């Protein structure tokens, strides 16, 4: 089986049960598992705690992870003094169920370490980012030990690495970037090990360069340490700064096609005049809008990306070569559906080979096969446009 099409949501046991439920209880029984998965997907929450000493760059990190600059609408407040008196939530602009929490700086006059550990409700967070703008200190270690005691993942992030490198360049005649990064990393690791943290991993980042240093490795690590559905949601939340991120989103969004096509197949199997065609149109519109939003092609996302890349919004929009980024009307979708029925049926066998469990239920030429093909084509078209926008924004190939 092509596991890439559904492994994020369904185990092999669940797929076998899907087929078994259909054989014993018909379409209604088979689709219940899929509806439950869709509900879990849309309600999945991720709460990410960002903490560390005052002035470490916590707010700027939160803004960067949400695709915002510090002055953007909804950005976390930044400042040289402590600006956070209590945990402050900052939902993702497109996925409000993904929330970054800016925790007060540990070890400040306002929040001594012991009081901090008592008052912060660590249990609500999926993982912690412990940020330092220089060396990790005793307070960071105490915080990590408390998080570890609760069985929650935590990650050490050394921010402002670009400032350090600029300073070293001015002081050193024989400056070597990689050697200096290794020196900083080894120093951080050594200090943490001496303080009692075994084999710590430290990510060196600049909050203003999301594609440089260890930022890509950090995002990959965070995603890989989340369980399947939360990993899916986290990957969709990442700002489009590289082609790899866009491609990862394509793979995740293919799972949505599988679910929407299955729901279409169920309705398509019910002989109610007019309902099946109207339902197909609704599914197509919902699918295209969903893809467009999480690929960063809606107007609000494009504005944020232009601001982050410091490029004119109009310049990025010139890379959009599809009608699917405009208004999605019933007429547009009807023309797509009516013009593609023959094509969809002609590729039904390939579609059903790709998802054989559902294919064995609905069969060739079904609503499932048609919607799967049409939404796949729409997704590919939108991904191509998102890739062009990323290239224009960040000058990457």
Query: And the tokens for 284?
Result: 């197509």
Give the three-state DSSP class for 386.
Answer: helix
Give tens-digit pLDDT for 131-146: 998 888 888 888 888 8
> What pLDDT, on a 0 to 100 scale, did the predictor assign at position 274?
47
Residue 49, by phi and psi: left (phi above 0), alpha (psi -120 to 50) or beta?
A: beta
Query: And the tokens for 241?
Result: 């700064």
Sheet of 98-102: strand order equals 88-91, 98-102, 46-52, 127-132, 153-158, 202-204
The residue ranking higher by pLDDT, 217 or 24, is: 217
Q: Tell me how far apart the alpha carbons of residues 264 and 287 are, in angstroms, rounded to a whole number.
A: 12
Q: Tell me how far apart the alpha carbons of residues 219 and 93 are, in angstroms, rounded to a whole number.
A: 18
Give the three-state DSSP class for 204.
Answer: strand
pLDDT higher than threshold 50 for residue 338: yes
User: What percentage of the chain exceeds 70 in pLDDT?
Assistant: 77
pLDDT higher than threshold 50 for residue 171: yes
Task: Tell me yes or no: is domain 46-234 CATH 3.30.300.20.
Answer: no
- Across the range 317-337, mean pLDDT stands at 84
Question: Which of 39-53, 73-87, 112-126, 202-216 shows the lowest mean pLDDT across its residues?
Answer: 73-87
pLDDT higher than threshold 60 for residue 264: yes
Q: What is the mean pLDDT of the chain?
A: 81
Q: Is 38 within 8 Å of 262 (Cβ atoms)? A: no
> What pLDDT, on a 0 to 100 scale, did the predictor assign at position 237?
95
Give tens-digit pLDDT for 237-248: 999 999 999 999
> What pLDDT, on a 0 to 100 scale, did the predictor assign at position 113?
67
Q: Is 47 within 8 Å of 124 (Cβ atoms)? A: yes
Q: How far from each other are the two terminal CA atoms of the chain, in whole angstroms?
A: 33
> What pLDDT, on a 0 to 100 scale, did the predictor assign at position 352?
47
H or E element that contains 50: strand 46-52
Give tens-digit pLDDT for 191-207: 999 988 988 999 999 99
> What pLDDT, on a 0 to 100 scale, did the predictor assign at position 79?
65
Query: And the tokens for 127?
Result: 């993982």
- Which regions of the chain carry the CATH code 3.40.50.300? 46-234
Residues forming beta bridges with residue 50, ordered by sequence position: 102, 129
Q: Tell me how far apart the alpha carbons of residues 155 and 144 are, in angstroms, rounded to a whole number.
A: 9
- Across the range 54-58, mean pLDDT stands at 85
- Across the range 157-171, mean pLDDT stands at 88
Q: Is 5 within 8 Å of 258 (Cβ atoms)? A: yes
Give tens-digit pLDDT for 356-370: 455 555 544 456 777
Query: Radius of gyration (Cα) for the chain, nearest Å?
Result: 24
Q: Note the Cα 209 to chain centre separation in Å.
A: 18
The residue ranking higher by pLDDT, 168 or 280, is: 168
Question: Which of 45-54, 107-116, 303-312 shows the lowest mean pLDDT across its residues?
Answer: 107-116
Residue 107, by phi and psi: left (phi above 0), alpha (psi -120 to 50) or beta?
A: left
Residue 340 has, within 13 A of its CA and on its CB side, a CA count of: 22
**pTM to 2 decimals?**
0.85
pLDDT higher than threshold 50 for residue 231: yes
Q: Note the Cα 268 to chain centre separation in Å.
A: 32
User: What percentage of the chain exceeds 90 in pLDDT?
Assistant: 41
Place of tokens 């793979």: 251
Question: Which of 81-85, 140-144, 334-338 shows the lowest mean pLDDT across its residues?
Answer: 81-85
Q: Tell me how far apart the alpha carbons of residues 286 and 230 are, in angstroms, rounded to a whole number.
A: 21
> What pLDDT, on a 0 to 100 scale, did the predictor assign at position 289?
92
> Buried (b) or exposed (e) across 249-270, using 16+ Cβ within 10 A?
bbebbbbbbbbbbbbbbbbbbe
Q: Tell me how far apart the alpha carbons of residues 169 and 176 are, in angstroms, rounded to a whole number.
A: 8
């Amino acid at each position: 089986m092509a596991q890439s099409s559904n492994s994020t949501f369904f185990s092999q046991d669940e797929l076998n049960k899907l087929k078994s439920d259909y054989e014993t209880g018909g379409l209604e029984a088979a689709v219940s598992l899929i509806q439950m998965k869709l509900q879990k997907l849309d309600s999945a929450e991720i709460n990410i705690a960002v903490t560390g000493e005052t002035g470490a760059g916590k707010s700027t990190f939160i803004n960067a992870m949400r695709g915002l600059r510090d002055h953007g609408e909804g950005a976390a407040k930044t400042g040289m003094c402590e600006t956070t008196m209590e945990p402050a939530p900052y939902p993702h602009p497109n996925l409000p169920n993904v929330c970054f929490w800016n925790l007060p700086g540990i070890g400040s006059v306002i929040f001594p370490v012991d009081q901090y550990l008592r008052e912060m409700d660590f249990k609500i967070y999926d993982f912690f980012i412990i940020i330092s703008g220089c060396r990790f200190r005793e307070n960071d270690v105490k915080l990590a030990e408390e998080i570890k005691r609760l069985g929650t993942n935590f990650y050490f992030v050394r921010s402002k690495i670009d400032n350090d490198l600029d300073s070293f360049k001015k002081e050193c005649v024989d400056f070597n970037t990689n050697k200096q990064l290794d020196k900083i990393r080894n120093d951080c690791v050594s200090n943490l090990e001496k303080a009692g943290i075994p084999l710590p991993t430290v990510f060196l980042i600049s909050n203003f360069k999301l594609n440089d240093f260890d930022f890509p490795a950090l995002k990959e690590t965070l995603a890989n340490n989340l369980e399947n559905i939360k990993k899916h949601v986290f990957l969709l939340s990442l700002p489009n700064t590289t082609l790899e991120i866009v491609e990862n989103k394509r793979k995740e969004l293919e799972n949505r096609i599988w679910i929407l096509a299955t729901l279409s197949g169920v309705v398509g199997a019910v002989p109610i005049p007019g309902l099946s065609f109207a339902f197909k149109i609704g599914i197509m519109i919902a699918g295209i809008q969903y893809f467009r939003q999480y690929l960063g092609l809606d107007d609000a996302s494009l504005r944020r990306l232009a601001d982050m890349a410091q490029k004119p919004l109009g310049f990025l929009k010139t890379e959009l070569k599809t009608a699917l980024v405009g208004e999605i009307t019933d007429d547009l979708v009807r023309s797509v559906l009516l013009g593609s029925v023959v094509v969809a049926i002609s590729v039904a066998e390939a579609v059903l080979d790709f998802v054989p469990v559902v294919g064995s239920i609905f069969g060739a030429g079904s609503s499932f096969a048609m919607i799967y093909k049409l939404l796949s084509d729409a997704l590919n078209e939108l991904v191509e446009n998102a890739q062009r926008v990323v290239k224009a924004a960040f000058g990457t190939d």
